[in-house]
Amino acid sequence: MTTEVRRAVFSLGSNLGDRLAILQGAVDAIVAMPGLTVVAVSEVFETDPVGGPQQPDYLNAVLVADTALSAGALLERAHGVEQQFARVRSERWGPRTLDIDIVALGDLVIEQPDLVVPHPRAFERAFVLLPWSEVDPAAVLPGSGTVADAVAALDVRGVRRRRDIFLTLAPVEPRPAR
């Protein structure tokens, strides 16, 4: 029996602590997960918080991977990575060290108490769609249309590309001193 490989899209966000180090740590942890082949990671965007209490700005990115893992297994692993970075779930849309959302998993549509795929608010969130459109311009969010069309219709104020910082898919080797 073969299991279908699907494209998984993860949204990563952090607004507490060393945000960039936390996002890079999350990327490293996802890259190391058995059963996932990471395809791309987006540039980093700094974004105003959406909803919730007053809080610091976020750093956000999108990671795309191919996997035959189930949605439940991906959610469990994403929560495990969040726990590695001391994620606390005390306030809806509150500040957090790390937030990992499964935005999409191929063309699957899942509605369970603990998991909804595609992510129910992804199509209205510029901090998800801008980075996703960069790494997969032809992407489609099941039931909602193309990511590119959604980006064109969004208000992207409050979402700023950070060209001065970046995430890598492989450990960066130190350069020898000259």
Q: What is the pLDDT of residue 34?
A: 93
Q: How many CA atoms lie within 13 A of 40 on its CB side?
A: 14
What are the catalytic residues? 87, 96, 99, 101
Q: The domain 6-161 belongs to what CATH superfamily?
A: 7,8-Dihydro-6-hydroxymethylpterin-pyrophosphokinase HPPK (3.30.70.560)
Q: Are 115 and 71 in contact (CB under 8 A)?
A: yes
Q: What is the pLDDT of residue 122?
A: 80
Write out residues in the chain with pLDDT < 70, as ranges.
Answer: 1-2, 87-94, 171-178
Q: What is the pLDDT of residue 108?
A: 87
Q: How far apart are CA 153 and CA 135, in angstroms?
A: 19
Q: What is the pLDDT of residue 176?
A: 53
Read off the pLDDT of residues 143-158 as tens digits, 9 standing for 90 and up.
888 999 988 888 889 9
Which two three-digit tokens encode residue 96? 């957090």
Q: What is the pLDDT of residue 90?
A: 64
Q: What is the pLDDT of residue 54?
A: 83
Q: What is the pLDDT of residue 92?
A: 64
Q: Distances in Å between the alpha carbon of 151 and those of 121, 132, 162?
A: 13, 10, 18
Give counts: helices (H), strands (E), the chain. 4, 10
